[in-house]
Amino acid sequence: MRYTAAHWGIYEVAETPKGPRLQPFREDPDASPIGLHQLAPELMALRVKRPAIRRSWLEGGPGAAPELRGREPFVEVSWDEAARLVATDIDRVRKAHGNAAIFGGSYGWASAGRFHHAQSQIHRFLNCTGGYVAHRDSYSLGAARVLMPHIVAGMDTLMKDHTCWKVLAEHCELFVAFGGVPAKNAQIASGGVGRHQVRAGLRAMAGNGVEFVNVSPVSGNLETGGPVQWIRIRPNGDTAMLLALAYEVHRAGRHDLDFLQRCCVGWDKFEAYLTGATDGIAKTPDWAAPLCQVAPEVIRALATKMMAKRTMINIAWALQRADHGEQPFWMTVTLAAMLGQIGLPGGGFGLGYGAENTMGSPHARLSGPSLPQGRNGVSKFIPVARIADMLLNPGAPFRYNGGTYTYPDIRLVYWAGGNPFHHHQDLARLDMAWRKPETIVVHEQFWTPTAKRADIVLPITTALEREDISYATLEGMLVASRPVIPPVGEALDDYEAFRRIAAVLGCEEAFTEGRTGEAWQRHLYDVMRQSWSAHGVELPDFATFRDRGKIDLAAHDVDRVMLAEFRADPQAHPLPTPSGKIEIFSETIAGFDIPDCPGHAVWIEPREWHGSAGAARYPLHLISDQPERRLHSQLDPSPHSRAGKVDGREPLIMHPFDAAARGLCEGEPVEVYNDRGRCLAGLKISGEVIPGVVRLSTGGWYDFDHASGQERHGNPNALTADRPASGLSQGCSAHSCLVEVRRPEGPVCAPRAFDLPTFAPRL
Ligand SMILES: Nc1nc2c(c(=O)[nH]1)N[C@H]1C(S)=C(S)[C@@H](COP(=O)(O)OP(=O)(O)OC[C@H]3O[C@@H](n4cnc5c(=O)[nH]c(N)nc54)[C@H](O)[C@@H]3O)O[C@H]1N2
Ligand SMILES: Nc1nc2c(c(=O)[nH]1)N[C@H]1C(S)=C(S)[C@@H](COP(=O)(O)OP(=O)(O)OC[C@H]3O[C@@H](n4cnc5c(=O)[nH]c(N)nc54)[C@H](O)[C@@H]3O)O[C@H]1N2
Ligand SMILES: [Mo]
């Protein structure tokens, strides 16, 4: 059997008289439909087929007419010429300004597959040229990645330690989910899903009588096949509710002092805050109710249940992608510590069950192969979501994780494997910042909004055109991903593109170490084979692996319980925190003296939410969650993604009360707006969101119309704020955003997101 693997799963390749066809992987009980359409003509039509240079850049050189990025024709050139232009410009910039003038942070998910991992490729390449400005952390977990190592352990460690579904089904009695456990999100896993397990995991729990509570402004994100209590919470109010639950546990004297003393530090300082001894405000349910809009008696009843049952508290990643996003995560850990069930089967906390397929997996923690990236000669970096700040404010200081740093002065931006004009907030601001660099190089498969805004676009193959080793830790399946179709147009893989540019720069040998792509895969496989053997997992040789197509690691599954060893003996198994224990109060963070992130979990009002002054003009809280029908912006032009649109625009979900108050009807085009931007969407009216909340998922290709100043396709990042979650993390805070919705005035423009750019002949 031949397979091709993607973040959304494994697909079988069937040969038909009409050519190859993708089918669901038959061993996957819940295969995702997202990937079935990867060969669709609608996608092929949008491929970048030849190297292309923006006309002014080609004619006027680096820095020519940057305001025309995204608005003028491209000129197609040969690969030789394109490689020479890229190499010459890297050389110009590094000689004139140093390598710290090159931004290679290049965030993004690119394709699954370990060798053709675009981030590893670009970082290895740029390191061979002398280095680049890198990024830290992710959009996914900006606040949590910085916070968690101070208080429990790094996110990568914790994600791999989640209690598995089987143990939850056997031991958990009450599962309280802040932000649900969205099965739509569990369609994917970074690196590639083996078998989808979240829906079955939840069903097995429900079958065993586990009680579910979903604390969320939306209802559709926790499907168990059984009853779910839905507690309608005001977005961004979760920390207040968590504090009130903690208050009730404390008031009842049911906080586990033995656990708090044996396994945690700083309980007394937090206790003084909880009771109001430090600030005069007791964090009672009556205090919390106006903030989170959950009735005091509902909070009290939930607290009573939590004290009586084996309770798992789960928090969705979205909650930390918000203003002061550290706080709900810290408070979840604090409340779970008070209940004293951390490290017991079925109890404690979960950080994002459902955010990806991975959490709750029983599979082995073995790491997969990875391309060595070499040494970066540049030490400057940015927290990933500060890209527009960096471009707009060279030399300005910023704070991050207790340190103070300065933004570099970027002349060249090099992107491979990401779509900043999908992922960043306040895209109009990014568009302004995007004028600053003299040169922008993008490796892309498709004419995405970012590719359209580049100076040099190099055409890259998709996973369907490549051989690769596919594997994600905890997914339990090692896959030989095989080519399904020949390369489209003149597309090359990132490795070959970088090799050609390295050859012009005189660093080809350093980049390739004399290996072809295939030789690298063989080499990486052999290194992995040796390392797994040391862990008792024997792999066949590379040729046999490729022949078999996949290797199932299910025989190495374990019944994992998060932090069980630590709980049993915190001295013998200390955490990697300064105290070796869970830090309910962190001396380190307190010592940073950051006003918006003190030494323990606190309630700090978000700058933009229902409770703020801006709500008078913009009364609707916008939730820009992850899209059900694609991975971010990937495959948005596919028939599966298009089928979810309303007249070619992204659906905006609104409560019937809010629609009636505005006289809006199902299916009509609406304008969503605030002071940052305006975008069109197609209205869907549904009680699945609470009044005062609208939901517009991410990933509709950004389609800004310069003539009307309007985004035409429904991309929520036309509206979100580019504001750091806190001075600790500088994380993305997309989920703190207010908008208003109205019927557009005058004729509405048709979306043009899927138009190709224009091309001009060479003069
Ligand atoms: N408002 C709002 N914004 C958000 C979020 C939110 O919740 N709300 N979520 C954020 C989160 S969590 C994330 S992770 C980001 C995601 O942001 P991104 O990861 O940037 O989004 P993708 O659409 O996955 O972009 C990947 C790009 O890589 C290209 N690509 C795929 N394979 C290859 C390859 O092999 N080589 C090359 N050169 N290119 C390739 C694809 O065509 C695609 O354009 O978005 C963030 N943005
Ligand atoms: N199909 C699909 N799956 C994906 C992705 C994708 O693009 N498509 N992206 C993947 C990536 S990169 C990531 S990082 C993860 C992200 O995983 P998450 O961050 O968990 O995903 P979201 O869908 O943004 O939000 C999860 C839920 O939180 C709710 N929520 C939002 N704000 C609040 C709030 O203030 N309070 C409460 N209580 N709930 C709130 C939302 O309504 C939503 O149902 O998803 C991954 N899975
Ligand atoms: Mo993410």
Per residue in 213-245, pLDDT (tens digit) is 999 999 999 999 999 999 999 999 999 999 999
Q: Is the pLDDT of residue 212 over 80?
A: yes
Q: What is the pLDDT of residues 536-572, one digit of tens each?
A: 999 999 999 999 999 999 999 999 999 999 999 999 9
What gap in Å lies between CA 745 and CA 749, rounded to an integer? 11
Atom of ligand 1 nearest to the CA of 717: 1
Q: How far is the CA of 761 from the centre of ligand 1 (A)?
A: 31
The answer to whether residue 132 is catalytic is: no
Contact (Cβ atoms closer than 8 angstroms) between residue 473 and residue 368: yes
Closest-CA residue to 219 (of 206, 204, 229): 229
Atom of ligand 1 nearest to the CA of 716: 1
What gap in Å lies between CA 357 and CA 185, rounded to an integer? 8
> Which residues does residue 739 pair with via DSSP β-bridges, in sequence order?
620
Which pLDDT belongs to residue 594? 97
325 to 154, 180, 352, 478, 615: CA distances (angstroms): 16, 17, 14, 35, 20
Q: Which ligand is nearest to the CA of 626?
A: 2
Which pLDDT belongs to residue 747? 87
460 to 450, 452, 505, 757: CA distances (angstroms): 14, 15, 20, 17
pTM of this structure: 0.98
- Averaged pLDDT for residues 475-479: 96
Q: How far is the CA of 138 from the centre of ligand 3 (A)?
A: 7
Atom of ligand 1 nearest to the CA of 445: 42
Q: Which ligand is nearest to the CA of 325?
A: 2
Q: Which ligand is nearest to the CA of 322?
A: 2
Tell me which residue has tokens 């190089």.
441
Atom of ligand 2 nearest to the CA of 628: 1
Atom of ligand 1 nearest to the CA of 450: 44
- Averaged pLDDT for residues 457-470: 98
Pairing of strands 550-552, 52-54: unpaired
Q: How far is the CA of 632 from the centre of ligand 3 (A)?
A: 8
Q: What is the pLDDT of residues 125-174, one digit of tens each?
A: 999 999 999 999 999 999 999 999 999 999 999 999 999 999 999 999 99
Q: How confident is the model at residue 258 (pLDDT cuts 50, 70, 90)?
A: very high
User: What residues have CB less than 8 Å from 713, skipping those under 6 apart?
Assistant: 648, 649, 650, 679, 680, 700, 701, 702, 703, 751, 753
Q: Which ligand is nearest to the CA of 734?
A: 1
Q: How confident is the model at residue 694 (pLDDT cuts 50, 70, 90)?
A: very high
Q: Is the pLDDT of residue 511 over 90?
A: yes
Helix 267-275 × helix 238-251 angle, to 10°: 100
Pocket of ligand 2 (CB under 6 A): 140, 178-180, 182, 184-185, 187-188, 215-218, 221, 233, 235-236, 238, 316-319, 321-322, 352, 355-356, 623, 625-628, 631-632, 735
- Averaged pLDDT for residues 68-77: 97
What gap in Å lies between CA 215 and CA 314, rounded to an integer? 10
Which pLDDT belongs to residue 391? 98
331 to 178, 239, 697: CA distances (angstroms): 12, 7, 27
The residue whose C-alpha atom lies closest to atom 16 belonging to ligand 2 is 355
Which pLDDT belongs to residue 746? 85
What gap in Å lies between CA 97 and CA 224, rounded to an integer? 57
The residue whose C-alpha atom lies closest to atom 11 belonging to ligand 2 is 140
Which of 698, 701, 735, 736 most suits a substitution to test ligand 1, by most atoms within 8 Å of the C-beta?
698
Q: Which of 109, 165, 447, 525 is an active site residue? A: 109
What gap in Å lies between CA 8 and CA 363, rounded to an integer? 18
The residue whose C-alpha atom lies closest to atom 10 belonging to ligand 2 is 185
Q: How far is the CA of 383 from the centre of ligand 2 (A)?
A: 21
Q: Is the pLDDT of residue 715 over 80?
A: yes
Closest-CA residue to 141 (of 402, 399, 407, 385): 385
- Averaged pLDDT for residues 51-65: 98
The residue whose C-alpha atom lies closest to atom 3 belonging to ligand 2 is 185
The C-alpha angle 525, 528, 532, rounded to 5 degrees, equals: 135
The answer to whether residue 400 is catalytic is: no
The residue whose C-alpha atom lies closest to atom 19 belonging to ligand 2 is 318
Q: How far is the CA of 718 from the centre of ligand 2 (A)?
A: 18
Atom of ligand 2 nearest to the CA of 218: 42
Element (H, E) at 20: strand 19-24
User: What is the DSSP track for 519-535?
Assistant: HHHHHHHHHHHHHHHHT
Q: How far is the CA of 732 from the centre of ligand 1 (A)?
A: 14
Q: How far is the CA of 204 from the centre of ligand 3 (A)?
A: 27
The residue whose C-alpha atom lies closest to atom 42 belonging to ligand 2 is 218
The residue whose C-alpha atom lies closest to atom 47 belonging to ligand 2 is 185
What gap in Å lies between CA 597 and CA 291, rounded to an integer? 19
What percentage of the chain exceeds 90 in pLDDT? 99
Q: How far is the CA of 423 from the centre of ligand 3 (A)?
A: 9
Q: How far is the CA of 699 from the centre of ligand 1 (A)?
A: 8
Pocket of ligand 1 (CB under 6 A): 108-111, 116, 118, 139-140, 321, 416-419, 422-423, 425, 443-446, 448, 460, 494, 624, 631-634, 698, 716-717, 720, 734
The residue whose C-alpha atom lies closest to atom 5 belonging to ligand 1 is 423
The residue whose C-alpha atom lies closest to atom 36 belonging to ligand 2 is 235
Closest-CA residue to 328 (of 266, 236, 264): 236
How high does pLDDT run on average in the chain?
A: 97
The residue whose C-alpha atom lies closest to atom 10 belonging to ligand 1 is 139
Which pLDDT belongs to residue 168? 98
Q: Is the pLDDT of residue 762 over 90?
A: no
Q: Which ligand is nearest to the CA of 320?
A: 2
Q: Which of 3, 57, 107, 353 is an active site residue? A: 107
209 to 182, 414, 432: CA distances (angstroms): 20, 52, 54
Catalogue all structural domains in the chain, each as residue range(s) with its CATH number: 48-138+380-554 (3.40.50.740), 142-361+581-592 (3.40.228.10), 613-742 (2.40.40.20)
Atom of ligand 1 nearest to the CA of 424: 47
